[in-house]
Structure 1
Amino acid sequence: MQVIRPQTILPAPDFSLPTLSGGSTLQLSDFRGRLVLLTFWATWCAPCREEMPAMQALWQRYKEQGFSLLAVNIE
């Protein structure tokens, strides 16, 4: 897998979503100052499911450097 650095880093609008564990919410602004890959997926989306192992590997490789991966299920 090749990591490509973006030419321009754009801020995303803030939003909040419930966490998988329930009972709490995650707010995008909690990650301010960190590099975040925000991806949207669904169980019916075969390419989305196929890319999950690569996303997990990317997070494992760079998490200690402040990289965060937010995968939002749209179902």
Structure 2
Amino acid sequence: MSVQLLDKTRKINKLLHNNNSQKVVFNDICDVLSEILEANSLVISKKGKVLGVGTHNGTSEITELIADKVGGFI
């Protein structure tokens, strides 16, 4: 189990450290988190704007609360 946790942590660190552009791509972060956590993930700004969305197969979305696209508000 500790090896799996270490591999998952390394995957997140690799994503964060290999960001060559100055902009953060929240969809990429959400995709990696969704894969690691086996859950849907969102990055939301303080104002409620959806910055990134990641979905996991087999997990239902809460469509009543979440806008369909990045840039929408909750």
Instruction: Select the structure that is richer in strand.
Output: 1
Pick the TM interval, shorter chain. Answer: under 0.3
Instruction: Select the structure that is richer in helix.
Output: 2
Q: Which has the higher contact order (CA 8 A, sep 6+)?
A: 1
Q: TM-score, with normalisation over the residues of structure 1?
A: 0.26
